Amino acid sequence: MEPVFALLTGIFLTIAIYLLLSKSIIRMLLGVAILGNAVNLLIFTSGRIMREVPPVIGPGLDVPAGPVANPLPQALILTAIVISFSFFAFLLVLSWRAYSTLGTDNTDEMRVAEPEDATLPPLGY
């Protein structure tokens, strides 16, 4: 099962990086969304995949009976999902604000903070 997931992670990462290289902010946002999923899948795969038993300790027991799936990657992914979701929400709002205040969604044209024609100081006095 792992090779399939590894391949899928690779495809996700490729798409995400391709989209992030774009100049349009909307495409970059889509890239960010896919990037988050690629990483989650990667953590899931690197924690070893096991399909039989969920990591739940039965009632009345102190330890699980028999082998169970590794619960840690799931906890890591849950954390990463919450964080990447909040990031995505922030960037989405930010991009919308940028579009409405700067009037463009092309990163090449966002030069307000880095003006190209700043007046130079005198060379002597």
Partner 1 sequence: MAVSSPSADLSAALVLQPVTALDWLVILPVAWCIGIGAILMMVRHRTGLQPLIAIAALCVLAGIDATLLWHVSQNGPVTMVMGRWLPPFGIAFTVDLTGALFALMAAVVALAGAIAAVTDINDSGRRYGFYPLLMLLMAGVSGAFLTGDIFNLYVWFEVLLISSFGLLVLGSEREQIDGAVKYGFLNLVATTLFLIATGYLYGIFGTLNMADIVVKARELRDAAPLTTLMALLAFAFAMKAAAFPVNFWLPASYHTPRIVVSALFAGLLTKVGIYALIRVSVMLFPVERQELSFVIALAGVLTMITGALGALAQTDTRRLLGYLVISGIGSMLAGIAVGGPGGIGGAVFYALHSMVVMTALYLAAGLAARLGGGFSLSSLAGLYTRHALFSALSLMLFFAVSGLPPFSGFWPKVMLVKSALDTGAWWLAAALLLTGFLTTIATARLFLLAYWRPAGAGAPSGEVALPATLLVPLIALTAVSILIGLFPETLLGLVQKAALTLNEPSRYLNSVFPAGSAP
- Distance between alpha carbon 17 and the CA centroid of its chain, in Å? 11
Whose tokens are 């909040």? That residue is 86
The Cα–Cα gap between 46 and 73 comes to: 8
The CB density around residue 18, as the number of other CB atoms within 10 Å, is 12
CB of 53 to partner 1, least distance (A): 19
101, 106, 108, 116: which one binds partner 1 (CB under 8 A): 101
The residues of the shown chain that bind partner 1, judged by CB under 8 A, are 20, 25, 28, 32, 35-36, 39, 42-43, 45-47, 62, 72-73, 76, 79-80, 83-84, 86-87, 90-91, 94-95, 97-98, 101-102, 107, 110-114, 118-122, 125
